[in-house]
Amino acid sequence: MRVTSKMMVNNINLEISMQSELLLKTQKVIASQKKVQRASDDPIAMGKILNYRESISSIDQYMDNIIQGKTRFEFSETIFDSAMDLSARAKNISVNESSGTYETRQAAAVEIQNIRDQIVSLANSKMGENYLFSGHQTDTPAFSHHVEISGGVAANIDFGLAADATDTTIDIKDASGSVVRTITQGDFVTPASGGTMGANSVVWNGLDTWGALLPDGSYTFEVNSNDSNAGVRVIDYETYNGDSGDIEMMMGDGVNLKVNVDGNTAFTDLFYRLSRLQQGLEDPNLTNGTIQISGQVNALEAAHDQIAYVRSEGASKYNRLEVSESQYDKLKINIQDMLSDEEDADMATAIMELQSMQAAYETTLATAAKIIQPSLVDFLR
Amino acid sequence: MSNIIGLLDIGRRAILQHQTAIQVTGHNIANANSEGYSRQKAVLEAAIPISLSPGQVGSGVETTEIKRIYDKFLTAQVNSEKHGLGRWEAQRKGLERAEIVFDEPSGFGLSQAMADFWNAWQDLTNNPSGHTERVNLLAKSQNMTSSFNKISSDLMRQQEDLDTSIVGTVNEINNITGKIAELNQKITETEVTGLKANDYRDQRDLLLKDLAEKIDFDSFEDNYGKVAVFAGNGRTLVDDSFSWNLTTQTNINGHEDIMWIDGDGNLNNITAEIDSGQLKGWLEVRDVAIDDYLTRLDDLASTMITQVNALHTNGFDLNGTAGIDYFSGTSAFDIDVNVNIANDVNLIAAATTAAGVPGDNSNALAIANLNNGLFMSAGTATFHDYYNSLSSDVGSGVGEAIQYYDHQHAMSRNVDNIRESVSGVSLDEEMMNLVKFQHAYTAAAKLVTKVDELIATVMDMGR
């Protein structure tokens, strides 16, 4: 076949260009340590790579969620632990004081008051900005003498009493602590009497002492309650302010886990019993007091067991989260391996390829130099 | 009886013809690197002999023609391969550019942005009233919507760029066909006188090769040396010494259609009739590939908008009011986070009931779960699966175009090489020719000197 110099030059150009393109590509693979530089290099691998990356991202998020869930359960666990200690102590007091004297009972009453205050503050624990045991009302303490009004809509003032009362006064206070309204016997619509043992609810229309509508917001109140027949004061206790909403977390695709405990379930009965116990301890009539005190022994045991129950529910959920966490750990490692298989370049292979390509390139250049230079012109005189 | 003056004549002719031969060799050498040049050869033949009594006596050499060495079947094949080469090169470049827009291998593409978006909703479920979580969700949402916007507008801009290329190429085609028509005229005029218009033909062939890369056509040469060129379904581009023009017209999609102007000045839409060449490559990328990508991207964005908004408007924000639309816009081009939410993250509706605010995270849970929902491809694919298959298809498209291009390139190169082998100038060969003709020239000159001596001898005889 007739070969002209132009043909040889064109061919050499093309070969050199093809080889330098391959060299460039290999160099990019080595620099980035990724086999797949563009989707077109291997579309199927690219598809797998995107899938693996998404799985890893998903797993990371679920593990994040799990850690937050575990923290919450750990925190709740310590709270329940303390609450159980306190309620066990209260039960012991009730056993002891069933046959106690007036002096011991007075001292015990003070101790019960302290126990009540401590458990209230435990029940109102916050994690970050949110109250743990208020259901969905995470901006409201679970147990407090607290009423919210908005837009002139009448609100309920909820509180509990340890015994029937003959007169009850409620002082409503604003944020600075000054009394804005006092509700007395006469304002009670229900109950018609001064208050009954157990939960009570009074309606307040949001008006202050002079009949003006107070600004929207939350107000605290103080209850003073007496039984004038027995000549004793009636102990009031905080009722539950939250709701029964469930707070769930995502621990897997379509798998949700409830992480909150409703304060009502855990603590309401305990507060009622503790205040009844205190009422009994304070009763100057020892006989009546004994009846009241001994009546609380079994109930306090039951309230103590109730807390134990929610605590163990939390513990088993915590275990479930731990199992998931370790499964995700293993799964993530597997997927990362598979991703690396598809995506990462084997450096040894790539570098060897680079070297052999370099050798080929240099050979081509040397050969080219030898072929294209001489022509007949050099040899004619 | 021989003629001494005749001898001189033989010598004269030999010198002149060899001079011509050397001139042709020189022309070849000068044009060794000219694009599209076919080597020429002076055909030297023995001149008409004179009949004398002993027999016929030769009367020297004459040049019958200067022949252009070329193979017309090869030329047709070269052009045919150029159609394919032009098309696949244009298609490959266009698709590669579209692939860059998706930018998946780097890990910063839309796939990651979408994953981050769904994760941010899950973060919100862990603390629905948290300001940080809301701000983070807003940021990730905006990141995702910007990615959608950017991919969409980049693809659209690429379509506009293709339109510009198409318009430019149509103008070049008109230029070329005009020149071919002119050359038709020149060639006919020259060849009517019996001379071969070698260089004009080379020029015309080069123009046809150039044209072949741009658009596919059929051509044939008639007995008068004129080439007629037809594109599409028999639309005449060049006939005799006239050319017909192409032009462009904006269609309902806002892109350029290719129109042929017929003899009466009417515009005929030949866009669908073009099968190869750069124009076809660009049309394929613009109207088939990128359109498909944009449609699928829009589908993804609009489904996401619909699903998220449906849940979000059912929920309640931190103020206890019903949720507004989370996303504004209807397609990948204009999807954005609702400007009211961007200004106040408290409007993000994480709760399903007004009373459940602020701790209720069930709406946020439901929205986060959309990630696992089968909303795409008639209820068979998740958002991620759908996008994954889209970007896979982008990659496969490029891969396929590269394969076709490589094949076409190799074919084209082979045919070019064969043509070069037949018509190309080999400097070694020309050097040999130079030596050959020079020797003959020198010998002829010697002949003239000898004849001169003979004549001098004859003159001396008469004294």
Given CB atoms, is B426 within the 8 Å cutoff of chain A? yes
Whether B83 and B276 have beta carbons less than 8 Å apart is answered as yes
Specify the pairing of strand B217-221 against strand B61-68: unpaired
Q: Which of A1, A3, A245 sits opposite B359 (nearest CB)?
A: A245
Q: How many CA atoms lie within 13 A of B335 on its CB side?
A: 28
Tokens of A226: 């007496």
DSSP-assigned states of every residue in A323-365: HHHHHHHHHHHHHHHHHHHHHB--HHHHHHHHHHHHHHHHHHH
CA distance A285 to A89: 24
What digits encode the pLDDT tens for the residues B31-48?
A: 988 888 999 999 988 888
Partner-chain contact B359 A134, CB within 8 Å: yes
pLDDT-derived band at B1, boundaries 50, 70, 90: very low
Contact B372 A254 (CB under 8 A): yes
B residues 127-146 near A, CB within 8 Å?
127, 129-130
A chain contacts of residue B107, beta-carbon cutoff 8 Å: 53
Q: Which residues on B lie below 8 Å from A138 (Cβ)?
A: 129, 358-359
Report pLDDT for B62: 86
Q: What is the pTM of this model?
A: 0.86
pLDDT tens digits for range B257-288: 999 998 888 999 999 999 999 999 999 999 99
Say whether B398 and A39 touch across the interface (CB within 8 A): yes
Report the pLDDT value the prediction gives residue A248, as an integer from 0 to 100: 92
Task: Give the pLDDT mean for B290-299.
Answer: 95
Q: Is B425 in Cβ contact with A65 (below 8 Å)?
A: no
Interval A30-52: pLDDT, tens: 998 888 888 888 888 888 999 99
Determine the average pLDDT of the residues in A82-99. Answer: 91
Whether A253 and B358 lie within 8 Å, measured CB to CB:
no
Query: CA neighbours within 13 Å on the CB side: how many for A220?
Result: 10
The model's pLDDT over A156-193, given as tens digits with 9 standing for 90+, comes to 888 888 888 888 888 888 888 888 888 876 665 545 56
Strands (DSSP E) found in chain A: 126-127, 130-131, 146-149, 155-161, 167-173, 179-183, 198-204, 217-227, 232-234, 236-237, 248-252, 255-258
Question: Which residues are CB-neighbours of B18 under 8 A, at least 6 positions away?
Answer: B437, B440, B441, B444
Q: Do A47 and B389 lie within an 8 Å CB cutoff?
A: yes
B202-216 pLDDT, tens digit each: 999 999 999 999 999
The most confident of the ranges A82-86, A185-189, A290-294 is: A82-86
pLDDT above 50 (res B60): yes
Measured between alpha carbons, how far is B11 from A334 in angstroms, rounded to an integer?
A: 94
To 10 degrees, the CA torsion angle through B452, B456, B462, B463? 170
Spatial contact of B123 and B348, defined as CB atoms under 8 Å apart: no
In terms of CA atoms, which chain B residue is nearest residue A251?
B122
Angle at which helices A43-97 and A102-123 cross, to 10°: 170
Q: What is the pLDDT of residues B324-333, one digit of tens each?
A: 999 999 999 9
Q: Is the pLDDT of residue A214 over 90?
A: no
Tens digit of each residue's pLDDT (9 = 90 or more) over B208-247: 999 999 999 999 898 888 999 999 888 999 998 899 999 9
C-alpha A235/C-alpha B102 separation (Å) is: 70
State the pLDDT confidence band at B103, using cuts at 50, 70 and 90: confident
Band of the pLDDT at A213, cuts 50, 70, 90?
A: confident
Q: What is the mean pLDDT of residues B9-21?
A: 90
Residue of A29, A38, A262 to mutate, testing the B interface (most B Cβ within 10 Å of its Cβ):
A38
Residue type at position B403: Q
Of the candidates A2, A36, A137, which has its C-beta nearest B421's C-beta? A2
Share of chain A above pLDDT 90, in %: 40
Instruction: Tell the residue number behind the tokens 């018609």, with chain if given.
Output: A192
Question: Which chain A residue has the Cα nearest residue B406?
Answer: A18
Give how far the C-alpha of residue B85 lies from the chain's centroid of Cα atoms, to the nearest Å.
7
Structure tokens at A320: 């479930």
Looking at the complex, does the CB of residue B410 fall below 8 Å from at least one CB of chain A?
no
pLDDT of residue A99: 85
Residues in chain A closer than 8 A to B413 (CB atoms): 10, 14
pLDDT of B402 > 90? The answer is yes
Confidence label for B63 from pLDDT (cuts 50, 70 and 90): confident
CB contact under 8 A, B426 and A11: no
Q: Do B428 and A375 touch (CB under 8 A)?
A: yes
Interface contact B125-A10, CB threshold 8 A: no
Least confident stretch, A156-160, B143-147, B198-202, B372-376: A156-160
Burial (CB count <10 Å: 0-12, 13-18, 19+), residue A242: buried
Determine the residue of chain B that is closest to A72 in CA distance: B126
- Which chain B residues contact residue A132 at CB under 8 A? none
Residue with tokens 């050959």: B436
pLDDT confidence of residue A381: 66
Mean pLDDT score across all residues of chain B: 91
Please state the three-class secondary structure of B214-279 as a single string. Answer: HCCEEEEECCCCCEEEEECCCEEEEECCEECCEEEEECCCCCEEEEEECCCCCEEECHHHCCCHHH
**Cβ pair B18, B62 in contact under 8 A:** no
- Taking an 8 Å cut-off on Cβ atoms, the answer to whether A4 and B398 are in contact is no
Q: What is the mean pLDDT of chain A?
A: 88
CB contact under 8 A, A136 and B359: yes
* Residue to substitute from B386, B387, B414, B428, interface A, most A β-carbons within 10 A: B428
Q: Where are the beta strands (DSSP E) in B138-226?
A: 217-221
pLDDT at A212: 84
For B183-204, write each residue's pLDDT tens digit: 999 999 998 888 888 889 999 9
Smallest Cβ–Cβ distance between A46 and the set B391, B397, B432 belongs to B391
Tell me if B357 and A136 make a contact (CB, 8 A cut-off).
Answer: yes
Q: For residue B377, which phi and psi values (nearest 5 degrees)?
A: 50, 55
A36–B105 CB contact, under 8 Å: yes
